[in-house]
Chain A
């Protein structure tokens, strides 16, 4: 009796959460796939017709936005690695007792709503806002210069919003490096560049991989930054999906695009994890 109960205990504990995730995460993914292969409209109802053309049509119509999203995601990710690495390095090796304080400060932006932060940047960067009006007054930029509405503004916003997700995994990876390895390298006459390139960076790579995973995916699927800071020429695939779902309610096309986006990102992640070794990525990402 007691052993049976002990055997069933884990299943009883998993059941409620497991059912919730099954019903509201796994099943909806299948529902979305199914909806993308249906035809019909809201009034007449939808019929399952296995209409794969929805995919080819949707992708060829919105290929520009898809490529643009991946492009912005890529630039954002590269910019973040460059920006985040020195910070992770500083906190891991130089911050001493203040490590947790620094990490806490890095997470401060998350106490303000994502939308509100992005809108705050819009407010700061508008053409007659606090930054540009001053720069124009001093004659540092041309009168017709503007930031909002450009791809730069969107990438800027994306980089800003996801930066802590890049710093944290890099920090975790660097933190685990035994400082004696660096000492050994120095004692063997490696110059600082060599110590970094041959010892520190390779050992930090799992953190970089995890960070890339945690920023590239959400950045390429984002539509908030592009809506608030961009213009019609910076439309990303997220904007299209959001518009198709919520405004034109063209569900088959919308779910096809959304599914295609996920497939592209999944294939990307898979290839990436394959090349770089899954386990390291997973273990660091799971932290």
Chain B
């Protein structure tokens, strides 16, 4: 890394030679500092507002009392779309598909990723470097290339596309994220605890379920939830490997040209709200645990 230049200068200076800044200059400096801080504050909130604009618009138009099939002009407030959420059968099917995929991805990628994270955090083994490299590659490769290569693979094998191929893809790109989260938790564990359990006569299985697992559970949970979120939101890889199966993002994509019905806004709002509640609850629990 860059070495810190001031340190060498510091040692050559006699402390008595360093003049103290005049009070006035210091006051001036503090005033500019405060002004700069306020500017930064305003700027940060402007960008946050920008980030949230499309979400606010989406939520707002879920409450729009639109008459025709176009939901483009504000026409007064209504809750009717929340009641008619499942009025479009194809959209409902797509949402159900998305939920099934997300739950299965959470379970499978959660389990496999947890095992991988445990191995990487607890042991040194042959092939560790390659494993890390492949994980890094799955996290940083463009989705387009991963989706395209998986489709090439399925085409070469002559496999029909559908729920199974989408699930394979989702687990593939979720595993590494779960593993990274679990690994970071495993590294912080005290190995003495497992040893103590073993000394007290627990077999490896008991040790895992009664000692290790409860300690890494918060990480497993966050990893699983992240897998769920990645799955329900995924568009690119899913589009390549879906065949004729439709998920929520794919349905939205197909419907844009005709104009999105308000049900999409409502569904987006609900997913947003549920995600928000889970994330806040997770943060509150984590904070409480940290305080204890």
Contacts and interface: CB of A to CB of B under 8 A. Distances in A.
A285 interface: yes
Task: Give the residue among A24, A91, A118, A160 with the most B Cβ atoms within 10 A.
Answer: A24
A141 interface: no
A282 B172 CA distance: 21
Interface in A138-196: 160, 163-164, 181, 184-185, 187-189, 192
Contacts of A43: none
Interface string A246-277: 10000100110011011001000100000000
A24 B32 CA distance: 56
Secondary structure of the A contact surface, majority rule:
helix
Interface stretch (B42-50, B85-93, B216-224): B42-50
Interface residues of B, number: 93
A132 interface: no
B148 A32 contact: yes
Interface string A188-223: 110010000011001100000000011001101111
B interface majority secondary structure: helix
B272 interface: yes
B57 to A, nearest CB: 5
Contact of A181 (B4, B112, B115, B144): B4
A135 interface: no
A115 B152 contact: no
Contacts of A282: 136
Contact of A111 (B144, B151, B275): B275
Given A17-B113, A100-B283, A245-B240, A106 B51 contact: yes
Given A31-B156, A245-B151, A258-B149, A94 B40 contact: yes
Given A221-B142, A245-B240, A109 B52 contact: yes
A139 to B, nearest CB: 22
Interface string B103-145: 0000000011101101110110101000100111110111111
B233 A114 contact: yes
Interface stretch (A6-14, A51-59, A60-68): A6-14
A184 B6 contact: yes
B144 A221 contact: yes
B192 interface: no
B2 interface: yes
B142 A262 contact: yes
B236 interface: yes
A69 to B, nearest CB: 10
B5 A28 contact: no
Contact of B140 (A112, A114, A122, A214): A214
B116 A14 contact: yes
A163 B143 CA distance: 17
Contacts of B276: 108, 111
Contacts of B113: 17
Interface string B26-51: 00000011001100110110011011
B37 A94 contact: yes
Given A25-B172, A94-B37, A114-B249, A14 B52 contact: no
Contacts of A188: 6, 9-10
Contact of A110 (B33, B151, B233): B233
Contacts of B240: 242, 245-246
B202 interface: no
A245 B256 CA distance: 21
Given A10-B125, A87-B47, A245-B148, 4 more contacts: A11-B125, A113-B249, A113-B268, A115-B249
Interface of B: 1-2, 4-7, 9-10, 18, 21, 32-33, 36-37, 40-41, 43-44, 47-48, 50-55, 57-58, 61, 72, 111-113, 115-116, 118-120, 122-123, 125, 127, 131, 134-138, 140-146, 148-153, 155-156, 168-169, 171-172, 175-176, 179-180, 204, 229, 232-233, 235-236, 239-240, 248-249, 252-253, 256, 260, 264, 268, 271-272, 275-276, 279, 283
24 contacts: A11-B125, A14-B115, A20-B172, A25-B149, A25-B172, A28-B153, A32-B149, A46-B156, A105-B48, A106-B48, A111-B272, A114-B233, A115-B249, A116-B58, A116-B264, A160-B50, A192-B32, A192-B36, A199-B6, A222-B144, A223-B236, A242-B240, A259-B145, A285-B136
